[in-house]
């Protein structure tokens, strides 16, 4: 059976292997960093609240720090590998550009009205903006993390971030932004589950659409 001359069941490659590998490594490292970071936060809270123990990783401060730093280096190395591939292959430019305020506003309105179509392997303007934002938040989180880890060795960086205490706030807010991205990302996957298999297999139906976000 065909539609517009294209056979149902035909597959096309949309996610290269290195993109899928770095995506899942990044997901694992980020979860470890978030949960261990909450345990570290509990040892010296910035604000008037703490995270429940069951939401944290590491068991105690030293254990949480070990998890946090291990996940940080995994995240950094994985991120550098992804960026290197993306720049050399043109994947970043192809996937996330062009991007304009008008396109973001148009797609945001369509998403809020549950009328935003999704084609596997093609990012809409809102997705492009979110992915670019989370990369920048990741860079800010790593930079502020280094500033509060070694405030003397990275004195210039710590000073640029407003000092040790303010760098802690910057780090917390950057990680909070990443957590919000994860929540939005998982929500969209739940609403359009057809986006998940291609991130595992790398392939999607040729000529098919993921459909609109369900009403």
Write down all domains in the chain, each with its CATH number in brackets.
11-212 (1.20.950.20)
Tens of pLDDT along the chain (215 residues) come to 444 444 445 566 777 888 889 989 999 999 999 999 999 999 999 998 999 999 999 888 999 999 999 998 998 899 899 889 888 888 778 877 777 888 888 877 777 776 766 666 677 777 788 888 888 998 899 899 889 988 999 999 999 999 999 999 999 999 999 999 888 888 877 777 777 777 777 777 655 444 444 33
Q: What is the DSSP letter of 194?
A: G
Dist CA 124 CA 139 (whole Å) = 23
Q: Per the confidence metrics, is the pTM higher than 0.75?
A: yes
How would you label 151-170 residue by residue, b for 16+ Cβ within 10 Å and e otherwise?
Answer: beebeebbeebeeeeebbeb
Give 203's strand partners. 13
- What's the Cα-to-Cα distance from 199 to each of 22, 44, 84, 183, rounded to whole Å? 11, 38, 20, 18
Coil, helix or strand at residue 117 = strand
**How high is the pLDDT of residue 7?**
45
Dist CA 16 CA 24 (whole Å) = 13
Of 44, 36, 95, 94, the residue nearest 69 (C-alpha):
36
| Torsion of Cα atoms, 54 then 59 then 62 then 68, to 10° | -50
Of 38, 23, 20, 44, the residue nearest 179 (C-alpha):
38
157: left (phi over 0), alpha (psi -120 to 50) or beta: alpha
User: Is the C-alpha dihedral spanning 182, 184, 188, 190 positive or negative?
Assistant: positive
Dist CA 8 CA 207 (whole Å) = 9
Dist CA 90 CA 178 (whole Å) = 25
- What's the Cα-to-Cα distance from 167 to each of 47, 71, 104, 133, 164, rounded to whole Å? 14, 20, 31, 19, 5
**How high is the pLDDT of residue 180?**
92
**How high is the pLDDT of residue 209?**
47
């Amino acid at each position: 059976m065909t539609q517009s001359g294209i056979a149902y069941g035909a597959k096309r490659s949309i996610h290269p292997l290195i993109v899928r590998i770095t995506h899942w490594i990044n997901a694992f490292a980020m979860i470890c960093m978030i949960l261990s970071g909450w345990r570290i936060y509990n040892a010296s809270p910035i604000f008037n609240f703490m995270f429940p123990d069951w939401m944290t990783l590491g068991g105690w401060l030293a254990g949480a720090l070990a998890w946090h730093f291990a996940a940080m280096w995994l995240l950094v190395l994985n991120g550098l590998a992804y960026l290197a591939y993306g720049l050399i292959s043109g994947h970043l430019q192809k996937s996330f550009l062009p991007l304009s305020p008008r396109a973001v506003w148009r797609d945001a309105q369509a998403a809020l009205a549950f009328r935003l179509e999704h084609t596997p392997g093609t990012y809409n303007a809102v997705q492009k903006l979110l992915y670019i934002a989370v990369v920048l938040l990741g860079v800010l989180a790593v930079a502020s993390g280094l500033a509060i880890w070694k405030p003397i060795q990275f004195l210039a960086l710590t000073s640029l971030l407003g000092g040790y205490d303010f760098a802690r706030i910057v780090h917390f807010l950057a990680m909070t932004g990443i957590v919000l991205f994860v929540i939005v990302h998982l929500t969209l996957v739940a609403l359009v589950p057809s986006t998940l298999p291609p991130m595992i297999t790398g392939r999607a139906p040729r000529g098919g659409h993921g459909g609109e976000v369900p009403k």
